Amino acid sequence: MSEPTLQTPTLTEHPGTSDAVRAQILATEHWSLLATRSLTWTETFSRAGMFLTVVSGAVVALALVGNATAFGPAFRGFALLLLPVVLLIGLLTYARLSDANLEEIGLLIGMNRLRHAYLEIAPELTPYFVTGLHDDEAGIAQTYGTVFHRYTGYSVIQALSGTPELVGLITAVTAGVLGELVTGSVGGSERASVVTGIICGVALAAALMLRTLRRYARARRAYQPRFPS
């Protein structure tokens, strides 16, 4: 966020409106953002649940067909038809969940600005707020982690344990299995199939991570906080 911040007039510069009216307007917007954030979380969990249901169904179907065909050519053909569908659903689910995370950050920014406005009206309440009061990165991080993350920081495990990341991991594994099957179907050796599967899985995981990092970096460059810490 290297660009200059926007200068926004404070509430005290507009004395024509009473504090009660200001608080009512701010509260209405706050509840609107809270409801939208709740819908975003609901969609995130629903999409992740649908994807896991598809994966579970695919695993069960593969097990049944494999048992019936002794994991022969018919099983391989069935897997080559089924796994691309699972892979496509996984990619689309990951993209939507990743975008939903960005949308949630936008909602948090709005809620931080509203809390900042509340405390312009009643600054004596500042010690009672544990969520962020500013719309910059520090304020967003405070809202996500409240109090204790200021001291403990964020670990790699926390970064990788989010819903989009877990969906992306399962999708990458699916890509690896599909790569192994395709290589074996065209006459590749067992070793070549395994190596190809690993390469496909790692490559897709890296591509998904790169996509997310680029989108976040683009958003950070374009965003200008109005109430920095």
Q: Which of 72-81's residues contact partners 24+ apart within 8 Å by CB, and which partners?
A: 76/181, 76/184, 76/185, 79/177, 79/181, 80/178, 80/181, 80/182, 80/185
Across the chain, mean pLDDT equals 88
Cα 31 to the chain's mean position, in Å?
22
Is 135 in contact with 116 (CB distance < 8 Å)?
Answer: yes
163 pLDDT more than 70: yes
Q: What is the predicted pLDDT for the residue at 2? A: 45
Q: How is residue 2 written in tokens?
A: 């290297």
Averaged pLDDT for residues 154-175: 84
Burial-class residue 166 by CB neighbours within 10 Å (0-12, 13-18, 19+). middle
Q: Indicate the pTM of the whole model.
A: 0.84
Enclosing H/E stretch for 15:
none
Q: What is the predicted pLDDT for the residue at 11? A: 60
Share of the chain above pLDDT 90, in %: 67
Quick one: pLDDT band at residue 1, thresholds 50, 70, 90? very low
Task: Please give the full DSSP string across 29-71, using - where no structure is assigned.
Answer: HHHHHHHHHHHHHHHHHHHHHHHHHHHHHHHHHHHHHHHHHTT
Q: What is the predicted pLDDT for the residue at 166? A: 93
4 pLDDT more than 60: no
Cα 172 to the chain's mean position, in Å?
16
Averaged pLDDT for residues 155-180: 87
Q: What is the predicted pLDDT for the residue at 5? A: 52
97-148 pLDDT, tens digit each = 999 999 999 999 999 999 999 999 999 999 898 888 999 988 888 888 755 5
Rounded (5°) CA angle 66-72-76: 75
Q: How is residue 229 written in tokens?
A: 């810490």
Quick one: pLDDT band at residue 81, thresholds 50, 70, 90? very high
Averaged pLDDT for residues 57-82: 92
Looking at 11-15, 48-52, 224-228, which range is the least confident one? Answer: 11-15
